Amino acid sequence: MSTEVISIRPTDRVIDAWLLMMETSVSSMPVVDESGGVVGVLSITDLNRHIAERVAKARSLREITAPSRDSIAEDRDEIREFGLAIRAVAESLVSSILTKGQIHALSPDDSLERAIHLMAENNVNMLPVLKDGKVVGIVTRQDVIWIIAGKSGKHPESS
C-alpha cells in the first residue's frame, strides 16, 4: 500500500487531472470531496472511453448527414472530430465523467487476496484504502505484482 496518495476533486477540470496523472506517472487517482471522502476514481481508461464515445457519436452523425466523400476529406473530418472530442472531455469537470455506482475500496486490514479479488472481479487497476471514509492509501495492480514477485519496492532491481 502506498500512503502517498495523489487525489483530485470532482470540481477540478479533467485537463488538470489528466496533466497531473501524466506528471506523476499514475493511471488513476481517487476523487475526493471537500471533507476528504471518496466520491469515485478517475482513470486514463475513463478518459479514453469518454473520448471514444464522443468520436463515435460524431462519426454516426456525419455518416447520417453528410454525403459520401473522398477518403482524404473523411480522414480530415475524423481527425477534426477526434480533436474536438479530446477538447470537450479535457474542458469538462471531473464530476461529469466519473462512473456512477459503487466505489471498490479496501480497508487497512484487508488481505492481499481481497485486493486481488476486487481488482480481478471489477477490472480495476487501483483500489483506494479507506479508514473512516477517508483515503489513507492506495493499492495498485503493480503493488500486487511486486508483492507476489517477492519484491518490497516499486522499482525493479538492476540485473
pLDDT tens digits, one per residue of 87-105: 999 999 999 998 777 889 9
In angstroms, what CA-CA distances link 70 with 9, 28, 58, 74, 132?
45, 40, 18, 6, 59
Instruction: Judge contact between 139 and 106, C-beta under 8 A.
Output: yes
pLDDT single digits (tens) 105-148: 999 999 999 999 999 999 999 999 999 989 999 999 999 999 88
Q: What is the pLDDT of residue 71?
A: 80
pLDDT at residue 59 tops 90? no
Q: What is the 3-state secondary structure (H, E, C) of the chain?
A: CECCCCCECCCCEHHHHHHHHHHHCCCEEEEECCCCEEEEEEEHHHHHHHHHHHHHHHHHHHHHHCCCCCHHHHHHHHHHHHHHHHHHHHHCEHHHHCCCCCCCCECCCCCHHHHHHHHHHHCCCEEEEEECCEEEEEEEHHHHHHHHCCCCCCCCCCC
Q: Give the gyration radius of the chain's Cα atoms.
A: 19
Residue pointed to by grid coordinates 470537450? 88
Q: Mean pLDDT over all residues of the chain?
A: 89
pLDDT single digits (tens) 39-54: 999 999 999 999 999 9
pTM reported for the whole predicted model: 0.82
pLDDT at residue 156 tops 70? no
